[in-house]
């Protein structure tokens, strides 16, 4: 089993066919879900009528600003972990020097990268944040009530993607095993985006824009 996990054959498969499958499912699945999501909402005639850019943009600004909303200020630890988690989750995969090198080898393009020490810190933040979010889903009743099995799956995939990447980079135990697991978990996470609650990376903007518009345009109050 361990020989297979650390084999060059598995590495070539994950870097080749499986990589293409993951990206195709991510892009095609995301486009499909966005179209379906939009179509379903368009059937409710009042939905798009309420969306007003001026209210949506103000809401985006405050919700993207640490402690910029009353809800964030009421839950400071959640605010801290949420912002650090999402910033790290986005910046590490895109701007990690090792990932940048692989992209350059494959497609001949490259961009700015973050220092490896900073990437290590961001990776640890993601790992700790996953544990924090898991604890909330288990021990806080109102969060546990709206938690599904798929939510634990998402946390596990993100946790193990970053943990195995950290262990592979620092060459803990057998480097190739953790490298292959890191690629595998990363591809599973990419595939999961259109089909799980990770889809909120796309739906967030409309959902927040709609809520802000209803509050501001209809109720004449702020949503932050």
* Whole-number Å distance between alpha carbons of 192 and 151: 11
What is the three-state SS of 157-169? HHHHHHHHHHHHH
- The pLDDT of residue 3 is 74
Q: Indicate if the pLDDT at residue 222 is higher than 70.
A: yes
120-172 per-position pLDDT tens digit: 999 999 999 999 999 999 999 989 999 999 999 999 999 999 999 999 999 88
The angle formed by the CA atoms of residues 40, 43 and 48, to the nearest 5 degrees, is: 90
Mutual orientation of helices 17-42 and 175-192 as an angle, nearest 10°?
20
The pTM for the full model equals 0.89
Q: Indicate if the pLDDT at residue 4 is higher than 80.
A: no
Q: Token digits for 139?
A: 């021990």
5-54 per-position pLDDT tens digit: 778 899 999 999 999 999 999 999 999 999 998 888 777 766 777 788 88
Which runs of consecutive H residues, i.e. helices, occur in the chain? 2-5, 8-15, 17-42, 45-50, 53-63, 70-74, 76-95, 97-107, 116-139, 141-145, 149-169, 175-192, 200-213
> Where is pLDDT greater, at 44 or 208?
208
- The pLDDT of residue 5 is 77
Question: What average pLDDT does range 69-73 have in this prediction?
Answer: 90
Domains of the chain, each with CATH number or no CATH: 2-23+72-218 (1.20.950)
Q: Indicate if the pLDDT at residue 219 is higher than 90.
A: no
73-110 per-position pLDDT tens digit: 999 999 999 999 999 999 999 999 989 988 888 788 88
- The pLDDT of residue 2 is 66
């Amino acid at each position: 089993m361990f020989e297979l996990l650390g084999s060059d054959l598995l590495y070539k498969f994950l870097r080749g066919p499986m990589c293409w499958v993951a990206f195709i499912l991510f892009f095609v699945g995301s486009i499909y879900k966005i179209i379906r999501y939009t179509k379903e909402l368009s059937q409710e005639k009042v939905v798009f009528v309420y969306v007003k850019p001026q209210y949506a943009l103000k809401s985006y600004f405050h919700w993207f600003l640490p402690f910029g909303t009353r809800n964030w200020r009421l839950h400071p630890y959640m605010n801290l972990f949420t912002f650090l988690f999402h910033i790290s989750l986005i910046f590490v995969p895109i701007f990690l020097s090792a990932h940048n090198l692989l992209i350059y080898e494959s497609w001949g393009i490259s961009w700015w990268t973050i220092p490896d020490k900073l990437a290590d810190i961001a990776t640890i933040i993601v790992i700790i944040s996953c544990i924090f979010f898991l604890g909330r889903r288990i021990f806080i009743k109102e969060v546990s009530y709206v938690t599904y099995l798929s939510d634990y799956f998402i946390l596990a995939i993100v946790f193990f993607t970053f943990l195995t990447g950290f262990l592979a980079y620092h060459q803990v135990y057998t480097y190739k095993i953790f490298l292959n697991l890191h690629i595998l978990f990363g591809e599973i996470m990419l595939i999961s985006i259109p089909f799980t609650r990770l889809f909120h990376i796309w739906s967030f903007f409309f959902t927040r824009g709609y809520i802000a518009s209803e509050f501001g345009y209809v109720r004449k109050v702020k949503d932050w």
